[in-house]
């Protein structure tokens, strides 16, 4: 082959490889993976405490990812956190009275919303509200409970030494 | 209008290169001491002189690669010292320069070296470039070596490639720094013929730095002899050998003793060898 | 005493003067850069020399760095019972710090020295003067393409290095040490951000690429035209680049991340 053309070809290959690697890193190893791309419907739930839950955290049912946390705002009337989730359209058979719970993957891992299916015949649809929720487990409360040996009363959660 | 004016002008009165009072000091050594010198349009002018006298340095001053401490260098009416970069480069596009050490671009093969000025300055179709380059290579007898790299050439071949590169643009002025070095008699004759042809057929003004007097006698109309930072003799080659100046007599006779120093300026031999200290 | 002061301060002053001269050279280079873009073929050739030819060393080094990182971090994380975060920690260390810095150091040794030696030799054999005589500005034809090639090649090399590092880390962490594959990736994708980690690392790569190729070209350009001069310039390229990379890394990390 013409030596000048083979230069150009090799250079082109190198540039392609570099950009491919960059694209791989950016899309496959970062939180971009968690972007739900397909069509989805919105469901809201209120929690008294969301702990460390963040935007774009996964929503799982039976450990399977079904959606993404879309937004988290404070509802100033109830003083609760209002979480909007985007659930993928293909999961349209989730009972309306399902139970939403904020969980942690591992002891120090990330927080996500776990759905436990209820028994209602009607299913979640766009705009549905999940009434049954359980807030994030606070490590501090847990340790407090553990130290006092019994259920955490109001006194044990205040900052007494 | 200006063309006819140029044609009517006496070439001796309107030299292409005018050096006036050029003084240059390099590393404390005065290489030129108020040098005056003219190169007539359309001539082949040889610059001769002992080794280390500043012939290469003179060519570098003419092309603006070096600037003297004082004096003026005019090329085609332009003062190369005062010329801004753009103007200098525009001037250089019309000057061919053969480096004493060839200075080929080692990354490129022979063909690309010769094509380099063409590609850099003119958007020419590839087959035209090919034709021009191969014609010039043919003229120096190296058309067959077009795809060799500079590292694969002998010294004499490299000089001929550098020569082809210097003439590829058919410039108005070509400066040859020792074009005959390392050439066998056949190649030397060919290069000699080439220099004359370029001058006679295209009217290219040529400046020739060379030590080979036989070749200079064949090619040059005019010779400047430089020694000790000054022009010591000028004239047609035939007149110069016959002139009874001590400079020419010594230089062309090759005598060790005379006004042209063979030694680079140095303190007396005795002092370098330490005898002065011993006797004092 | 005076001698002692001179011995300490002379090299310091020399170094400072070198920085200053490099700065002036940089300004000239920037002015020549637009004209340098008129030689795209030369730029392509330099990307080949500077980038493509550094690929093998970058890939192998990346693989080993990732493997070592995996071993070390696994040990550290297991103290806290946090080995599920291994993927995250490997990715963050690579993207934010080790990728750009190690690649830049290797780049200085592999490509920087080659640039300095080549340009220095071009100066010594009058090739740069020959170009000037042919009315081609060596700043535009020689310096600019090499500088731009470094600027373009470095971020790409860093991406390749990071990818290989990730594979090396995955190989050790998942295949040998038995961390769950799903945990390795999902923990990573949960915690690594595109802009704050991947792209900010690439900014560093860009800065280091500019720095190393500037130093390399300048050293070659200003090398005395002797074998010793070129040899010394090559050494200086490695030493100055390495110090400059590490110092700039600190500044960039402190102010940009
Ligand atoms: N860059 C430089 N720095 C210091 N001195 C120089 C430099 N270049 C040339 N010289 C000195 O200038 C003088 C003239 O050198 P030049 O190369 O012009 O000689 P020359 O007449 O071409 O000799 P030759 O016939 O051997 O080629 C020499 O004495 C040389 O030592
Ligand atoms: Mg000379």
User: CA B44: distance to chain centroid?
Assistant: 11
- pLDDT per residue as tens digits for the range A63-90: 788 888 888 999 999 899 999 999 988 8
Ligand 1 centroid distance, CA of C220 (Å) = 24
Rounded CA-CA distance A142/A156 in Å is: 11
With CB atoms and an 8 Å threshold, state whether A32 touches C166.
no
Every domain of chain A and the residues it spans = 1-30, 40-159
| Angle of the B185-202 helix axis to the B155-167 helix axis, nearest 10 | 10
With CB atoms and an 8 Å threshold, state whether C159 touches A25.
yes
- Give the 3-state secondary structure of residue C11: helix
Residues of chain C short of pLDDT 50, as ranges, are: none
Say if residues C113 and C215 touch (Cβ distance below 8 Å): no
Would you say residue C1 lies in a domain? no
What pTM value is reported for the model?
Answer: 0.82
Please tell me if residue A110 touches chain C, with a CB cutoff of 8 Å.
yes
- Name beta bridge partners: A100: A115, A133
C137 contacts in chain B (CB < 8 Å): 85, 89
Alpha helices in chain C (DSSP H): 2-36, 40-50, 55-80, 86-93, 99-107, 113-124, 127-133, 138, 144-170, 181-191, 200-221, 227-256
pLDDT of residue B161: 94
Helix H, strand E, coil C: the string for B156-210 is: HHHHHHHHHHHHCCCCCEEEEECCCCCCCHHHHHHHHHHHHHHHHHHCCEEEEEC
Distance from CA of C123 to the nearest CA of B (A): 10
Q: Least CB-CB distance to C163: which of A14, A25, A31?
A: A25
Q: Identify which of B53, B98, B181, B216 to mutate to test ligand 1's pocket (most ligand atoms within 8 A of the CB).
A: B53
- Name beta bridge partners: B38: B18
State ipTM: 0.90
Rounded CA-CA distance C103/C105 in Å is: 5
With CB atoms and an 8 Å threshold, state whether C45 touches A11.
yes
- pLDDT per residue as tens digits for the range B144-164: 999 999 999 988 889 899 999
Per the structure block, which two tokens stand in for C32? 């020549």
With CB atoms and an 8 Å threshold, state whether C135 touches B93.
yes
Distance from CA of C141 to the nearest CA of B (A): 10
Higher pLDDT, B13 or B50: B50
Residue ID of nearest Cα to ligand 1 atom 1: B26
Signed CA dihedral, B197, B198, B201, B207: sign only: negative
Residue ID of nearest Cα to ligand 1 atom 17: B56
A9 contacts in chain C (CB < 8 Å): none
Say if residues A47 and A83 touch (Cβ distance below 8 Å): yes
Q: Find the range with the poorest average confidence among A27-36, B48-57, C80-89.
A: A27-36
- pLDDT above 90 for B139: no
Strands, sheet with B17-26, edge to edge from the N-terminal-most edge strand = B29-39, B17-26, B70-75, B78-79
How far CA C12 is from CA of A24, C8, C17, C19, C231, in Å, comes to 45, 7, 9, 11, 21
With CB atoms and an 8 Å threshold, state whether A11 touches C44.
yes
Distance from CA of C77 to the nearest CA of B (A): 52
Would you say residue C30 lies in a domain? no
How far CA B37 is from CA of B71, B91, B199, B209, in Å, comes to 12, 20, 20, 14
Q: Which of residues 17-76 of A touch C (CB under 8 A)?
A: 17-19, 21-22, 24-26, 28-34, 57-58
pLDDT of residue B6: 45
Q: Least CB-CB distance to A29: which of C45, C47, C189?
A: C189
Ligand 1 centroid distance, CA of C138 (Å) = 23
pLDDT of residue B22: 93
Would you say residue C82 lies in a domain? yes
CB contact set of A110 (below 8 Å; sequence gap of 6+):
A52, A54, A57, A104, C187, C190, C191
Q: How many domains does the structure of chain C reveal? A: 1
Rounded CA-CA distance B209/B245 in Å is: 21
Per the structure block, which two tokens stand in for B27? 């590393």
| Chains touching C, CB cut-off 8 Å, 3+ pairs | A, B
Give the burial class of A82: count Cβ atoms within 10 A of its Cβ; 0-12 exposed, 13-18 middle, 19 or more buried.
middle
Would you say residue C13 lies in a domain? no
Please tell me if residue B108 touches chain C, with a CB cutoff of 8 Å.
no
Size of interface A-C (CB pairs under 8 A): 103
Q: Which long-range contacts (CB under 8 A, 24 or more apart) does B255-262 make?
A: B259/B227, B259/B228, B259/B232, B260/B50, B260/B227, B260/B228, B261/B50, B261/B228, B262/B50
Q: What percent of chain A clears pLDDT 90, i.e. is strictly above it?
A: 23
pLDDT of residue B5: 41
Ligand 1 centroid distance, CA of B165 (Å) = 24
Give the Cα-Cα-Cα angle A58, A61, A67 (nearest 5 degrees): 35
* Ligand 1 pocket residues where CB is under 6 Å: B 26-27, 29, 31, 51-57, 100
**Which string of DSSP letters, residue by residue, matches B2-16?**
HHHHHHHS-TTTS-S
pLDDT of residue A161: 39
Instruction: Please count the other Cβ atoms lying within 10 Å of the Cβ belonging to residue C223.
Output: 25
Give the burial class of A35: count Cβ atoms within 10 A of its Cβ; 0-12 exposed, 13-18 middle, 19 or more buried.
exposed
Residue bearing tokens 């209008």: B1
Per the structure block, which two tokens stand in for B195? 């220099």
With CB atoms and an 8 Å threshold, state whether B104 touches C127.
yes
With CB atoms and an 8 Å threshold, state whether B65 touches C125.
no
- pLDDT per residue as tens digits for the range B194-250: 899 889 988 899 999 998 888 898 889 999 999 888 898 888 888 887 777 777 777
pLDDT of residue C198: 93
Say if residues B223 and B48 touch (Cβ distance below 8 Å): yes
Q: Least CB-CB distance to B101: which of C121, C126, C136?
A: C126
Identify from C40, C42, C47 which residue to disrupt to test chain A contact, counting A C-beta atoms within 10 A and taking the largest count: C47
Residue ID of nearest Cα to ligand 1 atom 14: B54
Residue bearing tokens 């004499």: B156
Say if residues C121 and C227 touch (Cβ distance below 8 Å): no
- pLDDT above 60 for B278: no
Size of interface B-C (CB pairs under 8 A): 49
pLDDT of residue A34: 65
Q: Least CB-CB distance to C129: which of B95, B103, B165?
A: B103
Ligand 2 centroid distance, CA of B100 (Å) = 6
Please tell me if residue B121 touches chain C, with a CB cutoff of 8 Å.
yes
Residue C126's domain spans which residues? 37-256
Rounded CA-CA distance C59/C81 in Å is: 31
Q: Are strands A40-47 and A128-130 parallel, antiparallel or unpaired?
A: parallel
How far CA A137 is from CA of A132, B201, B269, in Å, comes to 16, 98, 98
Residue ID of nearest Cα to ligand 1 atom 3: B26
| A5-14, A103-112, B88-97: which is most confident | B88-97
> Rounded mean pLDDT of A32-61?
82
Ligand 1 centroid distance, CA of B185 (Å) = 27
Q: How many residues does chain B have?
A: 280
**Chain A residue with minimum CA distance to C156:** A18
């Amino acid at each position: 082959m013409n030596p000048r053309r083979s230069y150009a070809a090799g250079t082109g290959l190198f540039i392609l490889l570099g950009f491919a690697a960059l694209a791989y890193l950016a899309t496959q190893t970062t939180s971009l993976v968690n972007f739900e791309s397909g069509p989805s419907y919105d469901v809201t739930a209120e929690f008294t405490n969301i702990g460390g839950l963040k935007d774009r955290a996964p929503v799982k049912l039976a450990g399977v990812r079904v959606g993404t946390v879309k937004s988290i705002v404070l509802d100033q009337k109830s003083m609760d956190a209002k979480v909007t989730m985007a659930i993928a359209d293909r999961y349209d058979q989730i009972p309306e009275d399902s139970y939403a719970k904020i969980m942690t993957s591992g002891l120090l891992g990330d927080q996500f919303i776990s759905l436990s299916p209820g028994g209602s015949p009607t299913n979640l649809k766009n705009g549905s509200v999940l009434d049954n929720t359980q807030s994030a487990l606070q490590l501090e409360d847990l340790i407090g409970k553990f130290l006092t040996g019994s259920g955490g009363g109001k006194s044990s959660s205040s900052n007494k030494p | 209008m200006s063309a006819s004016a140029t044609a009517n002008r006496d070439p001796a009165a309107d030299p292409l290169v005018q050096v006036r009072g050029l003084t240059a000091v390099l590393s404390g050594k005065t290489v030129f001491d108020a040098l005056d010198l003219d190169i007539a349009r359309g001539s082949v002018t040889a610059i001769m002189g002992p080794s280390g006298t500043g012939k290469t340095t003179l060519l570098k001053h003419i092309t603006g690669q070096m600037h003297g401490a004082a004096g003026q260098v005019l090329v085609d009416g332009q003062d190369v010292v005062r010329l801004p970069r753009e103007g200098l480069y525009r001037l250089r596009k019309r000057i061919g320069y053969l480096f004493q050490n060839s200075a080929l671009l080692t990354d490129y093969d022979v063909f690309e070296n010769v094509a380099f000025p063409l590609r850099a300055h003119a958007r020419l179709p590839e087959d035209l470039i090919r034709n021009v380059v191969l014609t010039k290579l043919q003229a120096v007898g190296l058309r067959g070596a077009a795809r060799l790299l500079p590292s694969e050439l002998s010294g004499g071949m490299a000089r001929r490639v550098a020569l082809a590169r210097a003439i590829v643009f058919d410039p108005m002025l070509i400066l040859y720094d020792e074009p005959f070095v390392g050439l066998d008699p056949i190649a030397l004759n060919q290069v000699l013929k080439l220099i004359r042809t370029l001058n006679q057929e295209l009217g290219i003004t040529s400046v020739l730095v060379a030590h080979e007097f036989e070749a200079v006698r064949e090619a040059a109309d005019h010779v400047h002899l430089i020694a000790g930072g000054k022009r010591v003799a000028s004239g047609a080659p035939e007149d110069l050998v016959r002139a009874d100046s001590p400079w020419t007599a010594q230089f062309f006779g090759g005598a060790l003793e005379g006004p042209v120093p063979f030694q680079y300026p140095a303190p007396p031999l005795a002092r370098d060898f330490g005898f002065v200290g011993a006797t004092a | 005493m005076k001698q002692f002061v001179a011995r300490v301060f002379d090299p310091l002053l020399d170094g400072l003067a070198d920085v200053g001269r490099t700065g002036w050279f940089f300004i000239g280079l920037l002015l020549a850069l637009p004209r340098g873009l008129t030689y795209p073929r030369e730029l392509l050739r330099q990307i080949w020399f500077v980038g493509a030819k550094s690929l093998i060393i970058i890939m192998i080094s990346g693989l080993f760095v990732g493997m070592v990182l995996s071993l070390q971090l696994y040990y550290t994380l297991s103290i806290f019972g946090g080995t599920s975060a291994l993927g995250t920690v490997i990715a963050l260390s690579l993207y934010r710090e080790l990728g750009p810095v190690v690649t830049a150091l290797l780049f200085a040794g592999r490509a920087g020295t080659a640039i300095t030696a080549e340009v220095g030799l071009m100066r010594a054999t009058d090739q740069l003067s020959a170009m000037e005589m042919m009315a081609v500005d060596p700043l535009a034809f020689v310096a600019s393409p090499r500088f731009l090639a470094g600027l373009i090649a470095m971020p790409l090399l860093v991406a390749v290095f990071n990818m290989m590092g990730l594979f090396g880390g995955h190989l050790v962490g998942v295949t040998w040490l038995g961390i769950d594959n799903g945990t390795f990736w999902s923990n990573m994708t949960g915690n690594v951000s595109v802009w704050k980690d991947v792209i900010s690392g690439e900014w560093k790569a860009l800065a280091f690429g500019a720095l190393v190729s500037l130093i390399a070209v300048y050293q070659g350009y200003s090398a005395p035209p002797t074998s010793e001069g070129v040899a010394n310039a090559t050494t200086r390229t490695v030493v100055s680049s390495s110090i400059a990379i590490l110092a700039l890394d600190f500044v960039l990390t402190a102010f940009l991340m």
